[in-house]
Amino acid sequence: MKKLEAIIYDCDGVLFESHSANLAYYNQIFTAFDYPEVRVEQKQVAHLCHTASSQQVLAGLMRAEDVPAALGFAAEIDYRQFIPLMKPMPQLYQVLETVACHYPLAIATNRGSSVVPILEHFGLQQFFSAVVTSRDVKKPKPAPDMLLLAARQLGHQPQSCLFIGDSELDQAAAAAGDFHFVGYGERFLLEESVDKVLVQHRDLLEHLSLPVSFD
């Protein structure tokens, strides 16, 4: 295995719990076009809204003839109104502060222009040397394009980069691009709990030989 030299993070489900924010965003679009709102109980559809790009979500849940106008409408929405619904993962700042002292960090996310305002809102932008979104590549995840671009911007080969993601799209993108992958979040846990998320943080840091104590 090639020596680990850089770490790339997904955004939603890894850095932030953002299910409520994402559903509120997409439901604003669906309501404007007379589609029913997506409910939390609709797990498969809600998961799509949480992991896929806007193009993928709208193409998957709306009639084809409505998608272009819906994408135009979505582009005019100021996502900052939904940021208060987002919650940083437990001990996120402490974890990033520790890891960033040893590795260059990047974000590769199916989000678009909302990423930078989110990082600024939570005071996290200083930890990341590169931020790659669905707007920066032709194909979003599960294609490896954004991971490959993030690796190039960090100046490292894919085989020396670790990608931390929370979905099957992330896992597929890592495999397609020959990146090391760590599954994070409820889909890689038997049950969702804050305690288990903290254990995942601790296990990851110990795997990287970066011990940190959680108060």
Indicate whether 31 and 64 sit together in one domain: yes
Residues 183 and 99 grouped into a single domain: yes
Which is higher by pLDDT, 92 or 33?
A: 33
CB 179 within 8 A of CB 142: no
Question: Does some domain include residue 213?
Answer: no
Q: Phi, psi at residue 209, to the nearest 5°? A: 60, 40
> In the predicted model, what is the mean pLDDT of the chain?
87
Shared domain check, 117 and 30? no
Within a domain: residue 196?
yes
Tell whether 98 and 203 lie within a shared domain.
yes
Say if 177 falls within a structural domain. Answer: yes
Pair 60, 121 in one domain? no
Q: What range defines the domain where residue 56 resides?
A: 19-84
Average pLDDT over residues 127-155: 96
Q: How many domains does the chain fold into?
A: 2
Of 56, 84, 112, which marks where a domain is finished?
A: 84
Q: Which of 52, 84, 116 is the last residue of a domain?
A: 84
With b meaning 16 or more CB within 10 Å and e meaning fewer, what string describes 40-74?
A: eeeeebbbbbbbbbbbbbbbebbeeebbeebeeeb
Half-sphere CA count of 115, side-chain side, radius 13 A: 23
Residue type, 145: D
Residues 165 and 75 in one domain: no
Residue 77 lies in a domain: yes
What's residue 195's pLDDT?
47
Q: Is residue 133 located within the same domain as residue 147?
A: yes
**9, 5, 6: which is closest to 167 by C-alpha?**
9
Specify whether 73 is located in the same domain as 174.
Answer: no
The answer to whether position 124 is within a domain reads yes
pLDDT at 52: 86
> Are 63 and 107 found together in one domain?
no
Please report, rounded to a whole number, the percentage of residues in the chain having pLDDT higher than 90. Answer: 66
Residue 65 has pLDDT above 60, yes or no: yes
Q: What is the mean pLDDT of residues 80-106?
A: 91
- pLDDT greater at residue 188 or residue 119: 119
Q: What is the pLDDT of residue 102?
A: 87
pLDDT for 94 equals 86
What are the distances in angstroms from CA 79 to CA 6, 11, 25, 70, 111?
29, 15, 7, 15, 11
Q: Is residue 190 very low, low, confident or very high in pLDDT (cuts 50, 70, 90)?
A: very low
In this prediction, residue 193 carries a pLDDT of 42
DSSP 102: T
* Statement to judge: residues 119 and 172 lie in one domain: yes
Report if residue 102 sits inside a domain.
yes
Q: Give the end of a domain, one of 68, 84, 100.
A: 84
> What residue type is 156 in one-letter code?
H
Same domain, 115 and 198: yes
| pLDDT over threshold 90, residue 1 | no
Check which CATH number belongs to the domain holding 10 and give it: 3.40.50.1000
Which of 72-86, 175-189, 196-210 has the weakest average pLDDT?
Answer: 196-210
Q: How much is the pLDDT for 204?
A: 67
Q: What is the pLDDT of residues 13-33, one digit of tens each?
A: 899 999 999 999 999 999 999
- At 26-59, the pLDDT tens digits run 999 999 999 999 999 998 999 899 888 899 999 9
Q: Per the domain annotation, does 1 fall within a domain?
A: no
Residues 195 and 132 in one domain: yes
Q: Using 50, 70 and 90 to split pLDDT, how confident is the model at 61?
A: very high
Answer yes or no: is 99 within a domain. Answer: yes
